[in-house]
Amino acid sequence: MHNILSGKRLVAFDLDGTLIDSVPDLAAGLQAALAELGLPRPDDVQVADWVGNGAAKLVERGLAWALGESPSPELQEAGLAAFMRHYGAAPFARTVLHEGVAATLTALEERGFRLALITNKPERFIAPILGHFGLLEHFALCIGGDSLAEKKPSPLPLLYVANALGVEPRACVMVGDSRHDIQAGQAAGFATVALPYGYNHGEPIEASRPDACIDSLAALLD
Ligand SMILES: O=C(O)COP(=O)(O)O
Ligand SMILES: [Mg+2]
């Protein structure tokens, strides 16, 4: 069988919904922020559909749900500050690694691939979370949603990583759970691999037409 990694040198991974199931902590942070503002609390299932465009969008979607209309700039600012404080206080209390992640990253490294992390999550949370799971040293480069001028679905962070690590985009693969990962990968000229178990705004990820769809990360090695 043709492997999606044939001829590739760099594998870039999304974080939330791809390597980790982080919604329990993202939801707790958002619920605490909304409660602090005297607003109703969404449940974890609702919050999962709002993840994927970074912290500001998550808060904006939560506020719009709670208010029934778009939040004012002042409320958005207060909500984002509260979310960053609450989530930052416990970014991995209930977060778990998805199946096969640690072993797959190790195996890919042993096979000579460079690994990178490209998330829309604010950069400040990346190292604490990856460090907690013992995964930080696998990645040659980690980019957050606020690290560069644009975030996914822009191809900019992907092209930045390829350039910084000296790998042609056609020798790179983007692995993610959301249409933003697939769109960014397609626009950057990366091969794209989708995982169906993450957060994709309630849509099937196949609709984004990734080059491959796999059930778990370990299938990258087949
Ligand atoms: O913070 C988010 O919205 C999700 O980030 P991701 O890009 O790691 O899925
Ligand atoms: Mg994701």
The count of domains in the chain is: 2
Expressed as residue numbers, the domain containing 47 is 23-89
Q: How far apart are CA 126 and CA 214, in angstroms?
A: 24
The answer to whether residues 57 and 71 touch, using CB atoms and an 8 Å cutoff, is: no
Per-residue pLDDT of the chain (222 residues; tens, 9 = 90+): 478 999 999 999 999 999 999 999 999 999 999 999 999 999 999 999 999 999 999 999 999 999 999 999 999 999 999 999 999 999 999 999 999 999 999 999 999 999 999 999 999 999 999 999 999 999 999 999 999 999 999 999 999 999 999 999 999 999 999 999 999 999 999 999 999 999 998 899 999 999 999 999 999 998
Q: How far is the CA of 175 from the centre of ligand 2 (A)?
A: 9
How much is the pLDDT for 222?
86
> What is the enclosing helix (H) or strand (E) of 186?
helix 179-188
Q: Are residues 40 and 102 in the same domain?
A: no
Q: How far apart are CA 137 and CA 170, in angstroms?
A: 25
Please give the torsion angle defined by the CA atoms of residues 158, 203, 4 and 114, in that order, rounded to the nearest 10 degrees.
30
Tell me the β-bridge partners of 116: 12, 141
- Say what the pTM is: 0.96
Q: How far apart are CA 98 and CA 42, in angstroms?
A: 24
Q: Are residues 33 and 140 in the same domain?
A: no
Q: Are residues 56 and 108 in the same domain?
A: no
The answer to whether residues 208 and 194 touch, using CB atoms and an 8 Å cutoff, is: yes
How much is the pLDDT for 3?
87
ipTM score for this prediction = 0.95
The answer to whether residues 185 and 136 touch, using CB atoms and an 8 Å cutoff, is: no
Q: Are residues 36 and 130 in the same domain?
A: no
Strand ranges for the chain from DSSP E: 10-13, 20-21, 96-97, 114-118, 141-143, 172-176, 191-194, 212-213
CA-closest candidate to residue 33, choices 10, 65, 11: 65
Ligand 1 test: best mutation among 95, 120, 174, 200, most atoms within 8 Å of CB? 120
Q: Are residues 71 and 136 in the same domain?
A: no
Residue 1 lies in a domain: no
Q: How far is the CA of 121 from the centre of ligand 1 (A)?
A: 5
16 DSSP assignment: B
Neighbours of ion ligand 2 (CB under 5 A): 14, 16-17, 177-178
How much is the pLDDT for 202?
87
Residue 14 annotated in active site: yes
Residue 108 lies in a domain: yes
